[in-house]
Amino acid sequence: MVEESGGLDALETPCLLLDSDRLKANVAAMRARLDGLGVVLRPHLKTAKSRDVARIAMASEAGPATVSTLREAEYFAEGGVRDLIYAVGIAPQKLERVGRIRRAWRTDLAIILDSVEQAQAVADWSRRNGDRLPVLIEVDADGHRSGVTPQDSARLVAIGRVLAEGASLRGVLLHAGDSYGLSDPGALRAAAEAERTAAVTAAATLRDAGLPCPVVSVGSTPTARYADRLDGITEVRAGVFMIGDLFQAGVGSCAVDDIALTVLATVIGHQREKGWIITDAGWMALSRDRGTARQAVDQGYGVACDRAGRPYPDLIVRDANQEHGILAVRTGSAAALPDLPVGARLRILPNHACATGAQHDRYHEIAGGHLTGAVWPRINGW
């Protein structure tokens, strides 16, 4: 953390503002929920990519935590995190880097995979290097992406046996990605239960074959929010919950008032006959993510707020060029366009916190409704 002086008007725009009060409240609520369900929170740090945020999200400075890139693994390991899962399927070419991270910082970095071919490469590398890499088998919860289906017991056991012979089979890992396309609470509860059932089924298959499965890891922000029970699960990985965004608000995983991240922008012009306000926050600052277009309420490229973070009535970023954002009142609304002169500052709630964050290298902390002067660095890259 570094310090800066001045208020919002002293900041170069566009830039990221992070409300640490909301961040802490979001983390506390998720931790309390999972404590009540008897499972460990292993926060996913891919959204925040910041040690300052990680220290708030993790149970201790040593973890546990989840990452989505080896760059993140290096960054957090260097910062003292010792219990990490790299939750993206491993490529053989990345094993040397995994080994270096484990040695350099004495970090228990686990990896995931879903094929016999990957398992053989990991087992061979482990034997050659005298480091039995800890591995979780990725299981397909809902057909969304990667993983072994829980019904494919032969494949699960075959992968497990290869790992047990040369590496270290730690358990199974699932991600219910299809939950992001839901919004009905009943459907979200059903998705959470389907994820749990798939995880427990896969774990039982391995154990029945005489293979170890101490870790049963699931996680997405929607299913973590809506799970009624997590019997048989040992940990939950979720990440965007701590910051929130408009897409998650559309799913029902958070309220708009829970969103901790905004982009500070400056008005640079008007097209009054078109009802437009032009800002210096285009898609390079906001990202091109238009995920809310598939939801009941299309939020354009983001929702415009005043300096205090209060949304203007129906004012959205209707369009975005590389360095220009076009604000307009939502089609069909009777709301008035606010009077924002050139030079005025405003804040924009993002559609997707991960994608918007990736456009920036730091957060400026807001606490108690005011800029604190603290700057929290964040990293990007793979």
Any domain includes 191? yes
Any domain includes 254? no
Domain boundary among 207, 242, 277: 242
CATH code of the domain containing 313: 2.40.37.20
What is the overall mean pLDDT for the chain? 96
In this structure, what are the phi and psi dihedrals at residue 296, rounded to the nearest 5 degrees? Answer: -65, -35
> Cα–Cα distance between 155 and 256 in angstroms, integer?
43
* N residues, the chain: 382
Span 191-196, average pLDDT: 96
Q: Looking at the structure, do residues 234 and 268 belong to the same domain, yes or no?
A: no
Span 336-355, average pLDDT: 98
pLDDT attached to residue 1: 63
Percent of the chain at pLDDT > 90 equals: 96
**Which residues form the domain of 332?**
260-377
Residue 144 pLDDT level (bands cut at 50, 70, 90): confident
**Four-CA torsion 19, 22, 25, 31, nearest 10 degrees:** -80
Span 209-216, average pLDDT: 98
Contact 50, 260 (CB under 8 A): no
pLDDT attached to residue 6: 63
Q: Looking at the structure, do residues 281 and 228 belong to the same domain, yes or no?
A: no
Q: Looking at the structure, do residues 329 and 198 belong to the same domain, yes or no?
A: no
pLDDT tens profile 16-45: 999 999 999 999 999 999 999 999 999 999
Q: Which residue has the higher pLDDT, 143 or 249?
A: 249
Any domain includes 255? no
**Token pair belonging to 256:** 């708009």
Any domain includes 87? yes
Q: Looking at the structure, do residues 144 and 208 belong to the same domain, yes or no?
A: yes
Residue 4 has pLDDT above 90, yes or no: no
Residue 381 pLDDT level (bands cut at 50, 70, 90): very high
pLDDT tens profile 40-70: 999 999 999 999 999 999 999 999 999 999 9
pLDDT tens profile 285-307: 999 999 999 999 999 999 999 99
Pair type for strands 2-3 and 370-377: antiparallel
Number of domains in the chain: 2
CATH code of the domain containing 157: 3.20.20.10
Span 205-228, average pLDDT: 97
Any domain includes 279? yes
Span 185-213, average pLDDT: 97
Residue 5 has pLDDT above 70, yes or no: no
Any domain includes 28? no
The contacts found for 29-38 with CB under 8 angstroms, 24 or more apart, are 30/224, 30/225, 30/238, 30/241, 30/242, 33/224, 33/225, 34/224, 34/230, 34/236, 37/227, 37/229, 37/230, 38/230
pLDDT tens profile 303-313: 999 999 999 99
